[in-house]
Amino acid sequence: MAAAPLFIVFLGPPGAGKGTQAKRLSQRLGLAHIATGDLFRMHLQNHTKLGQLAQEYMKKGELVPDSVTIAMVEERLKEPDTAAGAIFDGFPRTLAQAEALDALLAEHGARVNAAILIQVPEAVLVERLSGRRVCRAQGHVFHVKYNPPKVPGRCDYDGSELYQREDDKPETVRRRIQVYWEQTAPVIEYYRSQGILTEVDGNQDIDQVTEALLTVIAALQQGGVDAS
């Protein structure tokens, strides 16, 4: 008898490492990695109906409605690589999205098995994001502390200038974090109330965070997640 599919939601503010860990664990566990950022880019680049619809809102400077994001996720869940399950990265961001995800999975006899909140102190998040520098030529990414260029202010690969993106400036980063918590707090409580929320310390080495996440998921597969 085939194992039941495993669906896991990663929660955490910008800079917490959701994307990095989702990629790592999807490879380790053979689960699809569903990132809303990737979905948007794919639909926009391929000029799909959903991409064109999203573009209309973005051109007006408006937020893309939940219904469009949910429709993109619904399409993604029809892909064969999701048969074993998936890790959701950046979704759901709102309570409406969380409820819609439950409904989508229920249609396939599945459910969200665990929501994992990666916790990192705000000061660390600001340091991680505001220290990022990007090269103007090719978009190579460096970090003033964690991955500094050999020559300050210059890309190691093409010698072009490194700059700080507007949304990586400390005051903007703090606002992004604040918006995340305001928007996602109801989602966290939604999963907490279901007894499937677990918190993991994201303020440690990348490999240590990966091992902590794998421990949580192993306990889940054995039928005993200790939700906090």
Active site residues: 18, 93, 132, 165, 176
Amino acid at 228: S
φ, ψ dihedrals at 157, nearest 5°: -90, -40
Q: Are 78 and 23 in contact (CB under 8 A)?
A: no
Residue with tokens 């103007």: 136
Structure tokens at 24: 């790592």
Tell me which residue of 120, 142, 26, 25 sits closest to 82, measured CA to CA. Answer: 26
- Residue 198 DSSP class: E
Q: What share of the chain is helix, strand, coil (3-state, %, to 5)?
A: 50, 15, 35
